[in-house]
Amino acid sequence: MASTDGDELEAVKTYFNTEGFNRWQKIYGETDEVNKVQLDIRQGHAQTVEKVLGWLDAEGGLAGTSVADAGCGTGSLAIPLALRGAAVSASDISAAMAGEAQKRYEAAVAAGAAAPATPPKFEAMDLESVTGKYHTVTCLDVMIHYPQDKADAMIGHLASLAEQRLIISFAPKTPYYSVLKRIGELFPGPSKATRAYLHAEADVEASLQAAGFKVVKREMTATKFYFSRLLEAVRA
């Protein structure tokens, strides 16, 4: 595995442009070319997305507001947000993932979904390079690629982009999940090309607080192979 941060970022980028792209675009798709583990992860991840959409809908919706979705993957969250009328700027370190998100958006509109006034943008960009100000910033299941000492700066950067709200999810570091991870039951699949990092909720919350945000909502999704802690934070 890579020994420097730059190498590690490059390894994540390469993985999600090659075998990781093949694996994850299937997991985040609808076809039945998935095994049982991948199906379980697909279902768990779909629950996380539904929870975010549920929160946002309950808070009055995002029509007309700007959203940055950092590490957008194949657009599982960015596309429904755009179709709800948000002006979405979505980006991913992997050009393959961002390109797939663009295709899926176009397919949704071709299939009859009403196109929003401002079409979403999908760009290949690492999240540290995202600039601008957005009403809401979302970043789902990306922190797993960041060691704790890099997660603080990552959260600080995302917070600096968010005018009002930051929604972020991560694999929580609990004794139970730490043991599972050690014995290799988590993150199954043929490729172990990238490292996976768990994060203590207290550390994530401390980073959010240091960036001027307070956590107002929490959720947890856990299936057999997928687990994700979801936080919504607003400017304190």
Which of 41, 66, 105, 141 is close enough to bind ligand SAM by CB under 6 A? 141
Q: Which helix (H) or strand (E) holds 36?
A: helix 36-58
16 binds ligand SAM (CB under 6 A): yes
Q: Is 234 in the site for ligand SAM (CB under 6 A)?
A: no
Q: How far is the CB of 111 from ligand SAM (least distance, A)?
A: 20
- Backbone Cα Rg of the chain: 17
Please say whether the beta carbons of 99 and 122 come within 8 A. Answer: yes
Structure tokens belonging to residue 82 = 């755009």
What is each CA distance from 63 to 2, 90, 107, 216, 233, in whole angstroms? 42, 16, 21, 21, 20
In this structure, what DSSP letter does residue 113 have?
P
String of contacts with ligand SAM for each residue 46-75, x by CB under 6 A: ------------------------xxxx--
The first and second tokens of residue 179, run together, are 């043991």
Question: Which position among 23, 42, 145, 173 is part of the footprint of ligand SAM (CB under 6 A)?
Answer: 145
Our finding on whether 80 is near ligand SAM (CB under 6 A) is no
Binding to ligand SAM (CB under 6 A): which residues in 174-233? none
- Considering the rule CB under 6 A, would residue 8 count as an interface residue with ligand SAM? no
Q: How far is the CB of 73 from ligand SAM (least distance, A)?
A: 3
92 makes contact with ligand SAM (CB under 6 A): yes
- Contact set for ligand SAM, span 108-127 (CB under 6 A): 126-127
Q: Which two tokens stand for residue 166?
A: 């930051």
Q: How many residues in the chain?
A: 236
Question: Nearest-CA neighbor of 91 among 176, 13, 23?
Answer: 13
Q: Measured from the CB of residue 201, what is the shortest distance to ligand SAM in angstroms?
A: 19
Q: Measured between alpha carbons, how far is 133 from 69 in angstroms, rounded to an integer?
A: 12
User: Which residue ranges make up the site for ligand SAM (CB under 6 A)?
Assistant: 9, 12, 16, 24, 28, 70-73, 76-77, 92-94, 97, 126-127, 140-142, 145
